Amino acid sequence: MTLAAVPLEVFTELARTRPLPEATAALRAALHARRMLLVKSLLVRFEQRRALLAPEVGRRFERDWALLERAERSDPAAVRDVVDYPMIGAWLTETLAAPEGPAFERHLAYLGGVAVAAAVRAGCQVGGTLTQPSGSLVLPGLGVLHCPSGSARLSGRGGLLRITDGAGGSEVILLRPTARGEPGTRRPVGSEPGWSALRTLPGSTVALDDLDPYRVPRRGIGPAALPAADRPHSDHRPWARRWHEAHTLLQATDPGRAAETSAVLRAVVPLVSPVGDAGITMSATLRSSPGAVLTQLPADASELAESLVHESHHTKLAALHEFVPLYRPGGGTLHRVAWRLDARPVPAVLQGAYAHLALTDLWWRARTGPVTPDAWRRKATQQFETYREQVGEALSILLESDELTFAGREFVQEMSRHHASLGVATRNPG
């Protein structure tokens, strides 16, 4: 695509890191187009390799795919919401990269939970038995049902779905959500354990996802290879409290950015925090699962607010690049930037500069806003000067690079104009 694929106002506001509902909608469309390309690639690979799969694996995939199609015919928007859930992107990426044989077949089983979650959201009629070799039925964005028997019985219509372990050890009833984007209402039936529901963070539809097996790569996150925090080691209460405090700060500083953060993000994934670790909180966004922030529990609300803005801008830039390529593939030049110890290629410099420009904008507003809390304002004063200098150095690298496309150069030039406007004493935040 070319620069003409995105309206000038949207392109400009994205370069300035400023929130704009039209931009959020356009980026969601780009992410969905990318996700559907992966879904179709999975179907193509299955059809090409059908004869090499175990017969029961092939039959299971076909049943799961048929249920997904039936849900899509019932409510396309609801199924789109399920398919676009971040961890489904990670699953598709791993599945498409898996070698032939048991690994590929094991990944295919996850499709059953995707199809059931879509059926819950769409409220379509469901029946039959679902094979679950892993012993757990994972419903992306909803929760996990323990199925020690290796199968789950499904029965539902009219917006209500009952799922029971094949041996009757666990059961849950799921109701169709009343509004798009809301998680399904979960109502466990009976006294047997086995159902674990995802919890949402206060005042939002963002899930605290500490259940999905694809939420963190097997190699972990960052230099320390941090694994995901599993229940019960991911207490919802401190996360809910910190989320509420962080959004209160963002709302006071920049209401539009607070709203954008909730709209862009779908999940927060807790990472393990080693006992006694007093270092910098690790956070990340994976290209395979945009819309999910992977992070340790931050020390305070300002740190989480900073992480949410930083990581949401990684998602925004990745989605824009799907619409309008900003750099050419294959460039091998490495550059030093202030926020990393290792030298970075141009795409990573652009990603870092963009996220840090958003933080520079945030801290500018925090230090000049009329209702900014004193502690937040003091931190903003320190952070603003540091980030403004660091971003300026990175922008100089990008402006001199020949690895950007025409649209990429236009984007960086607009970033530079916005960067220059921050810190002008007479400027009012707006």
Q: Pairing state of beta strands 207-208 and 267-270?
A: parallel
Read off φ and ψ for residue 324, nearest 5 degrees: -130, 105
pLDDT at 192: 55
- Report the pLDDT value the prediction gives residue 413, as an integer from 0 to 100: 97
Alpha-carbon separation of residue 54 from 47, 65, 102, 151, 220 (angstroms): 13, 17, 9, 17, 31
d(CA 128, CA 62): 14
Residue 363 phi, psi (nearest 5):
-70, -30
| Confidence band, pLDDT 50/70/90 cuts, at residue 3 | low
Express each pLDDT in 337-383 by its tens digit: 999 888 899 999 999 999 999 999 999 998 887 777 888 888 888 88
Provide the 8-state DSSP code for 280.
Answer: P
pLDDT tens for each residue of 103-122: 999 999 999 999 999 999 99
pLDDT over 70 for what percent of the chain? 92
How far apart are alpha carbons 111 and 307 in whole angstroms?
A: 31
Predicted confidence at residue 168, as pLDDT, reads: 81
**What confidence category does residue 429 fall into, taking pLDDT thresholds of 50, 70 and 90?**
very low
User: Do residues 6 and 324 touch, judged by C-beta distance below 8 A?
Assistant: yes
Distance CA(22)–CA(26), nearest Å, equals: 6
Q: How confident is the model at residue 232 (pLDDT cuts 50, 70, 90)?
A: confident
In the chain, where the domains are located: 53-197, 325-430
Q: Is there a cis peptide before residue 232, judged by omega within 30 degrees of 0? A: yes
420 CB-near residues (< 8 Å, 6+ apart): none
Q: How many beta carbons lie within 10 A of that of residue 306, not counting itself?
A: 24
pLDDT at residue number 188 = 44
| 312 Cβ contact list (under 8 Å, min separation 6) | 260, 261, 264, 265, 293
Q: Considering only CA atoms, give the Rg of the chain.
A: 23
What is the C-alpha to C-alpha distance for residues 278 and 321, in angstroms, rounded to an integer? 36
For residue 224, report the phi and psi dihedrals to the nearest 5 degrees.
Answer: -85, 0
In the chain, DSSP finds a helix count (H) and a strand count (E) of 13, 15
